[in-house]
Amino acid sequence: MKRTTIMIAGGVLLGVAAALVGVSLVEGQGTPRRPVTDHGPPGRWLPPGAHPNPAGGPAIQMDTGLGPLPPSTGAGYSSLTDVKPGGAWPALPRSLKGPVQPVFYRHDIHAGQYRIPCLYCHNNAANSYSINLPSESTCMGCHIVTSAPDTAGNPNPDIAKLRDYYARGVSIPWVRINRLPDYVHFPHMRHVAAGLACQTCHGNIQQMPRVFAVRNVASMGWCTSCHMERGVTRDCTACHF
């Protein structure tokens, strides 16, 4: 399969993704939104403005208008955003952070270089308490076609692993990275609908060849200090019930 064919297939799928997260002008519900004062969503991944909720709930209001997040440098990061689709990938950073995963899925290629929107794969982010990881069939939508083959035409070994999981009907046992204790109640969708960029809490994921935690999210002080800054409730029962 040639790179050009791959790109056409990729382009069609990205078009579908764009349609999924395309622009609408529906207002979010609830209290008036406070302006987001820290780094805004990088326009390329989910631009400021109202986005329809892929699952039909209230619109996702990304409202910062502050421009792209400054890129991260240093251990565990790479930047492929200037690499043309199909272009050569620079060498990986010498050391990667975060746990080794069963399939080497790279956010820096998919979300960074190819600019696949976060919600293409994490598509319940706006409606659900916990955000999903994509199913193998979401990956296979592209990788039934593209296999990033070597010069001899052999598929990339991790794409071969993905195809094998899919063929066997087995879910890839991804290692979880961010995890709260069970007694904490964290409504992901409220934060996303309030316009907080994913990167506010997870860092520049689109520059990570392998995902790592940029902070310990299981920290009550971190939750409550942001809530204080933004005038959000700090009632014990909001987070513990």
- Positive or negative, the CA dihedral 52, 45, 83, 154 is negative
Question: Of 25 and 91, which CB lies nearer to ligand HEC in the complex structure?
Answer: 91
CB of 96 to ligand HEC, least distance (A): 11
When asked if residue 232 is in the footprint of ligand HEC (CB under 6 A), the reply is: yes
d(CA 110, CA 97): 18
When asked if residue 18 is in the footprint of ligand HEC (CB under 6 A), the reply is: no
- Binding residue for ligand HEC (CB under 6 A) from 47, 68, 103, 128? 103
When asked if residue 116 is in the footprint of ligand HEC (CB under 6 A), the reply is: yes
When asked if residue 50 is in the footprint of ligand HEC (CB under 6 A), the reply is: no
d(CA 144, CA 131): 25
Question: Of 25 and 137, which CB lies nearer to ligand HEC in the complex structure?
Answer: 137
When asked if residue 125 is in the footprint of ligand HEC (CB under 6 A), the reply is: yes
Candidates 34, 89, 92; CA nearest to 63 is 34
- Binding residue for ligand HEC (CB under 6 A) from 120, 124, 127, 207? 120
x/- track of binding to ligand HEC for residues 127-156 (CB under 6 A): ---xx-xx---xx-xxx--x-x-------x
d(CA 96, CA 207): 12
Identify which range of 18-26, 48-56, 69-77, 112-120 contacts ligand HEC by CB under 6 A.
112-120
When asked if residue 192 is in the footprint of ligand HEC (CB under 6 A), the reply is: yes
- Binding residue for ligand HEC (CB under 6 A) from 45, 51, 72, 78? 45
x/- track of binding to ligand HEC for residues 54-73 (CB under 6 A): --------------------
When asked if residue 222 is in the footprint of ligand HEC (CB under 6 A), the reply is: yes
Identify which range of 49-57, 62-70, 75-83, 210-218 contacts ligand HEC by CB under 6 A.
210-218
